[in-house]
Amino acid sequence: MKQPFRLPHSLPRTCPRACLLAGLLLAAPAVMADDTDPPNAPTQSDWGGAGLWQTPTARMADAGEVGFNASHAYPYTRYNFTLQPLPWLEGIIRYSDISNRPYGPAALSGTQSYKDKSIDVKVRLWDESRYIPTVAAGIRDVGGTGLFSSEYVVGSKRFGPIDASLGLAWGYMGARGDISNPLDFISSKFSTRPAASVGSGGEFNGSDYFRGRAAFFGGVSYQTPWQPLVIKVEYEGNNYKHEPKDNNQPQSSPVNIGAVYRLNHNVDLSAAWERGNTAMFSLTLHTNLAEHAPPIKVLDPPPPQPQPAATHAPADQVDWAKVDQQLRDNAGLQVTKITKRGSELVITAEQVKYFYPAKGVGRTARVLDNQLGPDITWYTVESTRENLPIVDTSVDRKRFDDLLNHRIALDDFRLNVEQDPPLPQQEQVLYQPPMKQFDGGASISYGQSMGGPNAFILYQIAANYEANFHFTPNFWWSGVLSANLINNYDKFTYDAPSDLPRVRTDIRQYLTDSRITMPVFQVTDAERLGQDLYGMAYAGMLESMFGGVGGEMLYRPFGERWAIGVDAAWVKQRGFDQDFSFRGYHVATGHVTGYYETPVNHVTFAVSLGRYLAGDHGVTFDVSKEFRNGVRMGAYATFTNVDGAQYGEGSFDKGIYISIPFDLMLPGSTVNRAGILWQPLIRDGGASLNRRYSLYTLTSDRDGDMLNDNLQMITQ
């Protein structure tokens, strides 16, 4: 069943933290041969993101760009994952390896070197014009440990093949302290950078930003006449005399110089001479997910070809059982009812194959066109999800034929496509197949934790079998059986300290105590309670760590960009074997959530207030951007009434995620997605129930943007 999107704090346990490598393999298309980047495309710095070597520029990649960069300049190896959700916003997730410092006591970490996690944010303040440079401001290591914390303002101006940048940095990048803080005129507090700027991790040290002495940095990037080669020279503001962990490094020169060789559109190789005495090498893999089109669907059946008019018949004389089979095989519809409303033929069904609604609607129209006589002039697909009526999509039969035969353009046909809320109407039932009660399937899942004290990468590969049995169209049972195939969590001996009930930090026991587990065993009832009101109740083993009972209601007005939902549950902690046993802890949890999608850029804001699994109260903010091809990038943060001392390392829950349609990567159509969540730490505060179903997700087709943005697929 299609699960296109849910809030990241509701993601399943199969990806407890983002896997940067696996994420890249999922996200990036096959490397394109011979195709090089356009001349003005920015290259990445050693720290990820558009930049020179050690410093950023004001440049931004195109919206939808993602990149993985690995760089090494002794003693630092950095793994950077860059996202560009909006044209003016760049985010970077980073793991830094300090090879000459131990992670911790040998009894806990062995010989593992020190690892640091951090997040960077850069915002473009204004764009370049003929005389004015583009200007950006950013924070490096925002909300991290603060080991490499730095803030900056930088401008960039292009002069033909030369792109010049000049900036001012505070903190790590400005450690040379060439000038006194120019913000001193606001307050004398800006003169000193508090030592507390190096924190325990996860805190926003807002009072420390742009504090202390500053230093200039800058340089040039030169696009050589040979297209694959870019030369970069920079002057950096760090003198390496204030390195974290008392790890000061000799610097012979503040000038760094090197070259980038663009192997093709997706791969950059870089080498530089830094600090006047140290070689740097890096590899960058990048692609633009927003511009990525689905591959040719060689595994899909061809669209139905027109049949002679002699095969057409009035609607009440058609062999609808045969048509039902054709709709399932060619249009991807699981039909529950076929009705007639005057000259309108209505197919009530759930789309189980085609990710893009227009493609399923177009194939449905072709199947019907080969069967029906001229008494039918409109085709309507009433989309359902778990038998919940979501949206009616109608097309004018004659105008669709004109589009297929190139007698009208797509923009003209667009006026003959309607989307309306499903409403009770007088209709003639032509066909109603028996309810499909059982469906199931096998899958492989991959879960990973990164940057922990026991090992840099802890992973699990499991084989799963998922089954669903419908007692009635709206009442069903779901179960998942999972078998551990490969797992190195036996190395995971670290129990994070916690002053809260251990609702998430017992993850080691849940992953290692049993080879065969049952993450889900629940019954669910979902109903449409009104034209715009939906409700759901559920009970059973709801996720790997909790079972219980709960419910949800969602008000989502048709044609509006906002919705509001309420959920509540009483849950009890499950046994570590993930069978039918329980432990002693139980809690009542629930939230009120508001959703709003902006009409421009398809940015969705969600705010959720309520009580979390550890009994703490607070709010979760979620912001995400969905591109027209269905790729979604987002971030969330949860703040509760638990103070930093109780919460422990991390201070609050946060994460960054990408959701990618498998349809963009596979030779056959599918409605499924790959969800990649990067969560720097798993803690007990701000933890939400990982609900299997969400009404906001189930009703996602009420948003007509996916149909409108991809209407060209109606002919495929």
Q: What is the pLDDT of residues 514-553, one digit of tens each?
A: 999 999 999 999 999 999 999 999 999 999 999 999 999 9
For the stretch 117-128, pLDDT in tens is 889 999 999 999
Fold observed for domain 35-101+114-177+215-288: Porin (2.40.160)
**Residue range 96-106: mean pLDDT, rounded:** 91
31 with 135: CB under 8 angstroms?
A: no
The HSE-up count of residue 323 (CA atoms within 13 Å, CB side) is: 28
Beta-strand ranges (E) seen in 488-631 are 516-528, 533-541, 546-555, 562-574, 582-597, 603-611, 617-626
318 with 371: CB under 8 angstroms?
A: yes
When pLDDT is cut at 50, 70 and 90, the band that residue 203 belongs to is low
Between CA 593 and CA 175 the distance in angstroms is 44
**Residue range 262-291: mean pLDDT, rounded:** 96
When pLDDT is cut at 50, 70 and 90, the band that residue 264 belongs to is very high
Between CA 181 and CA 278 the distance in angstroms is 30
At residue 17, the pLDDT reads 36
The alpha carbon of residue 615 and the mean position of all alpha carbons in its chain are separated, in whole angstroms, by 28
When pLDDT is cut at 50, 70 and 90, the band that residue 15 belongs to is very low
At residue 207, the pLDDT reads 66
Between CA 8 and CA 21 the distance in angstroms is 19
What angle is formed at CA 108 by the lines to CA 106 and CA 112, rounded to 5 degrees? Answer: 60
Asked if residue 417 has pLDDT above 60, the reply is yes
Between CA 585 and CA 502 the distance in angstroms is 9
Name, of 34-48, 142-156, 310-324, 371-385, the range with top average pLDDT.
Answer: 371-385
Candidates 605, 593, 602; CA nearest to 636 is: 605
Asked if residue 27 has pLDDT above 80, the reply is no
**Residue range 297-309: mean pLDDT, rounded:** 92
Alpha carbon separation from 378 to 39, 392, 708 (Å, rounded): 50, 12, 19
Q: Which residues pair with 467 in a beta bridge?
A: 440, 479
- Which range has the worst mean pLDDT, 118-127, 223-232, 386-395, 638-647? 638-647
When pLDDT is cut at 50, 70 and 90, the band that residue 202 belongs to is low
Give yes or no for a cis peptide into 75 (omega within 30° of 0): yes
**DSSP state letter for 143:** T
The mean pLDDT of the chain is 90
Within 8 A by CB and 6+ apart from 660, the residues are 26, 27, 289, 630, 631, 673, 674, 676
The HSE-up count of residue 266 (CA atoms within 13 Å, CB side) is: 13
> What string of H, E and C letters represents the secondary structure of 442-497?
EEEEEEEEECCCCCCEEEEEEEEEEEEEEEECCEEEEEEEEEEEEECHHHCCCCCC
Q: Which residues pair with 80 in a beta bridge?
A: 69, 94
Transcribe 76-95 into DSSP letters.
EEEEEEEEEEETTEEEEEEE
At residue 649, the pLDDT reads 67
Measured distance between the N- and C-terminal CA atoms of the chain, rounded to whole angstroms: 22
Asked if residue 194 has pLDDT above 60, the reply is yes
Q: Could you give phi then psi for residue 207, rounded to 5 degrees?
A: -70, -10
Asked if residue 8 has pLDDT above 70, the reply is no
165 with 156: CB under 8 angstroms?
A: yes
The b-or-e profile of 101-125 (16+ CB within 10 A means b, else e) is eebeeeeebeebebbbbbbbbbebe
Residue 55 tokens read as 């410093």
The HSE-up count of residue 417 (CA atoms within 13 Å, CB side) is: 24
- Which range has the worst mean pLDDT, 17-31, 135-149, 152-166? 17-31
Tokens 């959700």 belong to which residue? 85
Parallel, antiparallel, or unpaired for β 344-351 and 378-385? parallel
At residue 197, the pLDDT reads 44
For the stretch 28-55, pLDDT in tens is 443 333 344 555 689 999 999 999 999 9
- Taking each continuous run of H as one helix and of E as one strand, the counts in the chain are 10, 31
Within 8 A by CB and 6+ apart from 407, the residues are none
Name, of 14-23, 555-564, 642-651, the range with top average pLDDT.
Answer: 555-564
The HSE-up count of residue 379 (CA atoms within 13 Å, CB side) is: 23
563 with 556: CB under 8 angstroms?
A: yes
Q: Inter-axis angle of helices 357-369 and 397-404, to 10 degrees?
A: 100
At residue 358, the pLDDT reads 97
At residue 317, the pLDDT reads 93
Between CA 607 and CA 562 the distance in angstroms is 12
At position 389, the amino acid (one-letter code) is P
Parallel, antiparallel, or unpaired for β 533-541 and 516-528? antiparallel
- Which range has the worst mean pLDDT, 534-543, 607-616, 697-706? 697-706
3-class DSSP state of 702: helix
Asked if residue 9 has pLDDT above 60, the reply is no
Asked if residue 1 has pLDDT above 90, the reply is no
At residue 495, the pLDDT reads 74
Within 8 A by CB and 6+ apart from 129, the residues are none
Percentage with pLDDT > 90 across the chain: 76
Segments making up each domain of the chain, as ranges: 35-101+114-177+215-288, 309-435
Candidates 429, 432, 433; CA nearest to 316 is: 429
Candidates 228, 224, 255, 226; CA nearest to 239 is: 255
**DSSP state letter for 343:** T
At residue 161, the pLDDT reads 96
Asked if residue 26 has pLDDT above 70, the reply is no
At residue 129, the pLDDT reads 94
48 with 69: CB under 8 angstroms?
A: yes
At residue 39, the pLDDT reads 56
Residue 47 tokens read as 């720290």
- Which range has the worst mean pLDDT, 133-147, 226-240, 271-285, 690-704? 133-147
At residue 490, the pLDDT reads 77
At residue 562, the pLDDT reads 97
328 with 321: CB under 8 angstroms?
A: no
154 with 125: CB under 8 angstroms?
A: no
When pLDDT is cut at 50, 70 and 90, the band that residue 334 belongs to is very high
3-class DSSP state of 427: coil
Between CA 146 and CA 499 the distance in angstroms is 24
Within 8 A by CB and 6+ apart from 627, the residues are 63, 64, 289, 290, 602
Tokens 């919460």 belong to which residue? 647
For the stretch 446-501, pLDDT in tens is 887 777 777 778 888 999 999 999 999 999 999 999 999 988 887 777 777 788 99
Between CA 708 and CA 448 the distance in angstroms is 37
* Helical (H) or strand (E) element with 281: strand 278-288
